[in-house]
Amino acid sequence: MRFRYVAYLPERGVFKDTIEALDQNEAAAAAASLGYRLLEIAPVREAPGLETLFPSMFKAGTGDLVRFFHQVASMMASGGNLMRAIEMAESESKNRVMRRALGEMRAHLADGESLSQVMRRHPGMFPELYVSIVEAGESTGRLGPSLEQLADMLEQDHEAKQRAMKTMMYPMTIIGMSFMTLAVLMVVAVPPLLKVFEEMGAGQPAAMTFTVNAIGFVKENLFAILGAGAAAAVGLALLRRLPGAAGVIDGVSARLPLLGPLTIAGDMARFSRTIGMLLEAGVPLSDALPMAIGGCGNVRVRQALRAGEESLLSGRGLAQELRRHRVLPSLFLELVSMGEDGNQMARMMSDAATTYQKEREDRLGALLGALEPASTVVVGAIVAFIAFSMFVPIYSGLDALR
């Protein structure tokens, strides 16, 4: 932050200036080191920036973190200085929040703190999982490889999300355009036809009557419909906070034909990748399990893995307890058992992460592949119904005029 001070020098007299520092004591020390005699110092009161008012819009993205960890790992592998690596990453970063955080980290590193300690000062940017991996690398003397593994994990997650978004873009565009066409027909084309029928004195067919009533209901109750949808979403979110309710909801969702296997595969890929990376970084399995379990979204999966964690801590092993929970896939259970028996848990979890990441992408592609034609058929049927309800009365009216 910035501080404004009033100081004195014999050759300059009394003067004012500003200085950047983490706190007022550091600012005063920095000014005194320049030979200034401080008369007054106070923080500069500035209007909060957009990144302060809307932190979610300006937070460091996954790409920024991947570049940061890759840069630091490369510098460490080449025998470079950690301070110089962070300084270089700060100068090259285009994200203001990231640049400010790196500047603060560099200042604390200069005070003798370790990289994991300065990362822990920024929990919004570096979750505890990242800090634990770096801390394990520092304790084992493998900081560079640990940073490289962390960057690879973030990069794989980022690429998986990008592939999912690209896969969803085309069918979502088709669905959106179909509903826009439907809205134009209902709002623009139908009302003029109603006036024509009134002028002709012809009765409205049943299809047209149904369409008109539906349009009128939506127009008159639009805000009520939107409010009911929002209330249902909020109610579901609150329901998930009730003890036991989230487990029931996630248990049902895990059995759904298409969505269930997709969510389970995603949780297995995320958990296996995290465990494998933590074990390779030197973190004990008992310490790695809580951090990896926290990344799972399905409550039933978390409950099963926590039961396995308790079994491991009590000395009964991990695989035996996990087999009691049907929500976990058989292949995952076999890989855990093989890793536990052969003392190769890190390699088995890395294999499981690769397998379930591929399965997740395949299932997502299959789901979207089925969604695209189904949505097109449904929207096409609605448009055809409206068109039928419009054109049949027109031909009927023409016959009546003849």
Give the separation between CA 277 and CA 153, rounded to whole angstroms: 8
Using the structure block, give the residue that is written with the tokens 């009590």: 314
Give the residue, 256 or 191, on which the prediction is more confident.
256
Least confident range of 183-192, 215-224, 365-374: 183-192
Q: Which domains does the chain have, with CATH numbers?
A: 2-46 (3.10.20), 176-375 (1.20.81.30)
Q: Which residues contact 19 (CB under 8 A, 6 or more apart)?
A: 2, 3, 5, 27, 30, 31
Q: What angle do CA 393, 396, 401 make, to 5 degrees?
A: 125
Least confident range of 2-6, 307-311, 389-393: 389-393
Split at pLDDT 50, 70, 90, the class of 332 is very high
Token pair in block for residue 347: 């390699």
Average of per-residue pLDDT values in the chain: 79
Split at pLDDT 50, 70, 90, the class of 75 is confident
Q: Measured between alpha carbons, how far is residue 328 from residues 178, 256, 268, 295, 322 in Å?
A: 39, 15, 8, 15, 8
pTM check: above 0.75: no
Of 207, 218, 266, the closest CA to residue 385 belongs to 207
Of 155, 180, 157, 131, the closest CA to residue 278 belongs to 131
Contact 76, 143 (CB under 8 A): yes
Residues 135, 267, 123, 77, CA torsion sign: positive
pLDDT for residue 393: 63
Split at pLDDT 50, 70, 90, the class of 197 is low
Q: What's the pLDDT tens digit per position in 353-368?
A: 889 988 888 887 777 7
What is the mean pLDDT of the segment spanning 276-298? 83
Of 277, 316, 270, the closest CA to residue 295 belongs to 270
pLDDT for residue 401: 53
pLDDT of 203 above 60:
no
pLDDT for residue 334: 92
Token pair in block for residue 379: 């929207």
DSSP 314: T
Residues 272, 273, 275, 276, CA torsion sign: positive
Residues 218, 221, 223, 227, CA torsion sign: negative
Of 159, 156, 65, the closest CA to residue 119 belongs to 65
Coil, helix or strand at residue 4: strand
Instruction: Look up residue 267 and give its amino acid.
Output: D
Split at pLDDT 50, 70, 90, the class of 394 is low
Least confident range of 154-158, 221-225, 312-316, 318-322: 154-158
Split at pLDDT 50, 70, 90, the class of 307 is very high
Token pair in block for residue 129: 């999982």
Using the structure block, give the residue that is written with the tokens 């487990």: 247
pLDDT of 53 above 70:
no
Strands 13-20 and 37-43: unpaired
DSSP 1: -
Dihedral, 175, 181, 184, 187 alpha carbons, nearest 10: -60
Using the structure block, give the residue that is written with the tokens 């000062």: 121
Split at pLDDT 50, 70, 90, the class of 348 is very high
Q: Which residues contact 21 (CB under 8 A, 6 or more apart)?
A: 1, 3, 27, 30
Using the structure block, give the residue that is written with the tokens 């906070």: 241
Using the structure block, give the residue that is written with the tokens 């600012």: 27
Cα 188 from chain centroid (whole Å): 39
Give the separation between CA 299 and CA 302, rounded to whole angstroms: 5
pLDDT of 304 above 60:
yes
Q: What's the pLDDT tens digit per position in 216-257?
A: 787 788 889 889 989 998 887 777 777 677 778 778 888 888
